Amino acid sequence: MRLLLIWLINAIALLILPYIVSGIQLKGIGTALIVAIVLGLINAFLRPLLVVLTLPVTVLSLGLFIFVINALLFWFASHVVKGFEVSGFWAALFGSLLYSLISWILSALVFGGDRATSV
């Protein structure tokens, strides 16, 4: 049940993004649900590999390169799912940051701030 709520929270966060970032377009709730799954899978499998491969750059940039990785993976998700469009790198960067922030805020409201310890 908790996993379904997290999935819905992430989809809602995705639905909010086009109203904040002009370079992001999303067709509807069904597309948001699919993108939430795709982003979850990308972050579970591809992101750890990229973080390890780019570790020297990440250390030299004091961790800021992680934002670049997140933006590129967010942008990659837009190429995988039809109906989800990100117009460029900067839209992907701001979109990935806001997606994380909105998702975190909504999760804190729903779960009372204990999401990270119980998943």
Q: What are phi and psi of 24, to 5 degrees?
A: -115, 130
Check if the beta carbon of residue 84 is closer than 8 Å to that of residue 35.
yes
pLDDT at 114: 61
In terms of pTM, does the model score above 0.85? yes
The residue ranges of the chain whose pLDDT is under 50 are 115, 118-119
Domain boundaries, the chain: 12-111
Radius of gyration, CA atoms only, the chain: 14
